[in-house]
A = this chain, B = another copy of it.
Amino acid sequence: MDQLCCLCDFEKLALTRLPKPVADYYGAGACGEHTLKLNNSAFQKLRIRPRVLRDISVRDTSCEILGSKIKIPIGVSPSAMQKMAHPEGECANARAVGEKGSIFILSTLSTTSLEEVAECAPDTIKWFQLYIYYYRDATKALIKRAENAGYKALVVTVDTNVLGLRYADTKNKFSLPPHLTKGIIMYEGSGSALTSYTDELFDSSINWEDIKWLRSITDLPIVLKGIQTAEDAIIAAEIGVQAIMVSNHGARQLDTAPASIEALPEIARAVENRCEVYLDGRT
């Protein structure tokens, strides 16, 4: 086998090993996948401007993110149900990220409980991704568990009041493999489609007031994931969240939305350093 050199080598290999519905679940974008292609192609309009003749014998990519010192300014975004890809799932990922000195964000839709991930990777900086559930008490309980397990920030996904249409999942009648532990998620129905799950538990009324409520019940820093316009970024900055993650949910929510990298400049300008700004990948 050829040596794996780049992300696309890993991606190609993974697709040969994963069952089709799983590969499709990880790979699919919403609807016609216009934004999915755009997430990649939009980078091709950009150029690095290489400066030369600088002493780079000592190179340091470390920086501070929400008060944590990390070694590289690249973390791992939340992605759901990682045990579908490998039996060690979220734990393996969290440990690997820790070794590289960066941040691991655990998805609410994890196939490993948040406490187990914390135990497996005690030295990794861990954040917890949160959907605000219809049942606010359950939501609150989840936050308390994250606090107790040592998670350092809440990453609140704000672009999923309804779940995006992913045709591949529909065609595959995608469901969570039944032998997998359901980890954090509280829904104990049949092996139904993710859409049924989110339809029943997600709250499509979520709005800025709910962010203020979150603000009031936890001292963890709040990161809003899914901001795509300067208008919303300004509201976020004024409400006092600690950070914005510019994201189109890996092109899985609303097709024909801008590429994340297209949305980044206007958002960065709009917040004027009032909060931190990150870019969510999948390009």
Contacts and interface: CB of A to CB of B under 8 A. Distances in A.
Interface of A: 2-3, 5-6, 8-9, 31-32, 34, 43-44, 46-57, 158-159, 161-162, 165, 167, 170-171, 203-208, 210-211, 226-229, 231-232, 235, 248, 253-254, 256-258, 262
A51 B6 contact: no
A246 to B, nearest CB: 12
A3 B195 CA distance: 16
Contacts of A53: 158, 206-208, 210-211, 232, 235
B171 A52 contact: no
Contact of A50 (B3, B32, B208, B229): B229
A256 B6 contact: no
Contacts of A57: 203-205
Contacts of A47: 256-258, 262
**Top 6 closest pairs, chain A to chain B, by CB:** A57-B205, A5-B167, A55-B205, A52-B158, A47-B258, A55-B207
Nearest to A228: B50
Nearest to A156: B53
A116 B167 CA distance: 38
Contacts of A9: 167
A3 to B, nearest CB: 5
A158 to B, nearest CB: 4
Contacts of A171: 2-3, 5
A57 to B, nearest CB: 4
23 contacts: A3-B171, A46-B256, A47-B258, A47-B262, A48-B254, A48-B256, A49-B258, A50-B229, A50-B257, A52-B158, A52-B226, A52-B228, A52-B232, A53-B158, A53-B206, A53-B208, A53-B211, A54-B207, A55-B206, A56-B161, A56-B162, A56-B204, A57-B204
A213 to B, nearest CB: 12
Max chain B Cβ within 10 angstroms of own Cβ: one of A3, A34, A49: A49
Contacts of A51: 229, 231-232
A155 to B, nearest CB: 14
